Chain A
Amino acid sequence: AQRVTQPEKLLSVFKGAPVELKCNYSYSGSPELFWYVQYSRQRLQLLLRHISRESIKGFTADLNKGETSFHLKKPFAQEEDSAMYYCAWGGNYQLIWGAGTKLIIKP
C-alpha cells in the first residue's frame, strides 16, 4: 500500500537557520506530492505542490524519484514558520498523508 513517512515528529531550529522537513513515499510511478501546513488555530492549507515547482513563503520542495523523497526546505527560518507540516501523496481518488512534523522556530 502507498505510504508517506515523515520521520520527525518534532523539529526545532533557531531563527535564521536552514530548515529541512523530510518526507519519503512508497510508490512507483509518477506521483503528485504536496506539502500542507497548519498554523496555530488555523485550518490545514496547501503550502506547495511538486508539479508547480514554485517557492511559497521561501519554502521549496524537490521531488527525488530515486530516493522517493519530497523534502521541504527553507534556507533561513523565520518565527512565523512555526507550524505543523504534512506531506501528502496524491493518487487514485485520495491523498495519503504523513503523520506530520511540528516545526518550532526558536528566537
Chain B
Amino acid sequence: EADIYQTPRYLVIGTGKKITLECSQTMGHDKMYWYQQDPGMELHLIHYSYGVNSTEKGDLSSESTVSRIRTEHFPLTLESARPSHTSQYLCASSEYALSTEAFFGQGTRLTVV
C-alpha cells in the first residue's frame, strides 16, 4: 500500500548525541519535505528535495542536514542534538510542487534532554 513512513515515532535523547530521523515513502513521489512544528504553532519548512541528489533548505533555519540518495528515502540528521531541537518533525511528499497536495507521515516527536 502506498504510504509514507517515519521512524521513530518518539525519541528521547541526550544532549550532544547524533540522531537520524528516518522517512520513507512508497508513493512514487519525486518531491519530499521536512517540517518542524512546535506545540500549538505553525508548520515550518526546514528542508525539501525535488529528486535524487537534490536538497534545499527551507525558510526556517535548521542545524539539521538531509540527504536524498534514493527516491523513496529522505533521512534527516542532527550531528549534535541540543534541547533547542526538541520539537515535532513531519515528513511529507507530493507528486507535484509543494503548493499542491502533500502527504504526511505520522511524525517524530523529538525530546533532547
Contact = CB atoms under 8 A, between A and B. Distances in A.
Interface residues of A, number: 20
B42 A90 contact: no
The binding surface of chain B is classed by DSSP as loop
Interface of A: 4, 9, 32, 34, 43-46, 49, 86, 90-95, 97-100
A85 to B, nearest CB: 13
Interface string B74-106: 000000000000000010000001111111111
Interface in B25-74: 33, 40-45, 48, 56, 58-59
28 contacts: A4-B42, A9-B40, A32-B100, A34-B101, A43-B104, A43-B105, A43-B107, A44-B104, A46-B101, A46-B102, A49-B101, A90-B99, A91-B99, A93-B97, A93-B99, A94-B45, A94-B48, A94-B58, A94-B59, A94-B98, A94-B99, A95-B99, A95-B102, A97-B44, A98-B42, A99-B41, A99-B42, A100-B40
Interface of B: 33, 40-45, 48, 56, 58-59, 90, 97-107
Contacts of B58: 94
Contacts of B105: 43
